Structure 1
Amino acid sequence: MEFKFEKLIIWQKAMDLGEEIHVLSKDFPKEELYSLTSQIRRAADSIALNIAEGSIGQTNPEQGRFIGYALRSLAEVVTCLHKAKRRKYIEESLFEKLYSECFNLMNMIIGYKKAIK
């Protein structure tokens, strides 16, 4: 038995990204625990949470709204990654890898949003 959203590749990718961000942020300085660390984790988790919430028994406009929230959370993650890079918490190569994953996920989410209209 599965929920509808568990079959969605965008949800699966968002779940993977959330776990990658969680592991990455463990290495942020302790002084960032209640700021950047918390922010990037909440934003990353919010992507999959909003995809799931938007897929359950919603009308198309409601689905679109939750998918929009997922996109906004993804933009927040990207901004936090830029902050982490500027503060030298992550190397350029890791930033590029995660940035690319975020960009690909964004395109997939936009495609999904267009498909449910």
Structure 2
Amino acid sequence: MIRDSLPRPHQRLEVWHDAMALVTGVYEYSSRLPREERYGLVPQLRRAAISVPSNIAEGAARGTPRELHRFLSIARGSLSELDTQLEIAARLEYGSAPDDLQQTLDRTFARLNALMKSIAARADESPITHHPSRLPNAR
């Protein structure tokens, strides 16, 4: 199977790259949680983290500003869920999320909110083509 050499629409979004870094950070952090959380908090953290870039990607592939905004909203919900789960881990005294993980989470929130605001402003425009200049905040 030959893959198109152009980046996919989601790969041109900075927020998607942040979300991918967030997944890596969550996996590293969660691997250090107590063994008894192997079937509790660990999979919850990982599922929430994975959901963020996955929904950004799905929304970018959908083709309309309205659908993109809807999937970005789902991604933001997963990001809030992840933030809460990291707080739960800290309150259970498993240790706070490392500073770099917290900074990546904060940056992802900020970029996601900015992109959603931009998309909402453009919601009445014609469908997004998969041309890089049509995606707001694209690389």
For the criterion TM > 0.5, the same-fold answer is: yes
* Counterpart selection for 1:76 from 75, 78, 81: 81
Scaled by the length of structure 2, the TM-score of the pair is 0.77
CA deviations on 1:16-53 (whole Å, 9 max, x unpaired) are 00011011101111211111100000000100000000
Query: Percent identity of the aligned residues?
Result: 33
Return the alpha-carbon distance in structure 2 between the equivalents of residues 84 and 58 of structure 1.
38
What's 2:113 paired with? Answer: 110
Structure 1 residue 17 corresponds to structure 2 residue 17: no
Counterpart residue type for residue 102 of structure 1: L
Aligned pair count reads 115
Structure 1's consecutive aligned runs of 4 or more residues displaced over 3 angstroms after TM superposition are none
1:115 is displaced (CA, Å) by: 1.5
Scaled by the length of structure 1, the TM-score of the pair is 0.90
Q: Which has the higher helix share?
A: 1
SS of residue matched to 2:40: helix
1:97 is displaced (CA, Å) by: 4.0
Greater relative CO, 1 or 2 (CA 8 Å, sep 6+)? 2
Which deviates more from structure 2 when the two are superposed, residues 39-48 or residues 29-38? 29-38
Unaligned 5+ residue runs, structure 2?
Answer: 121-139
Matches within 5 A, 1:49-88: 49-88=54-93
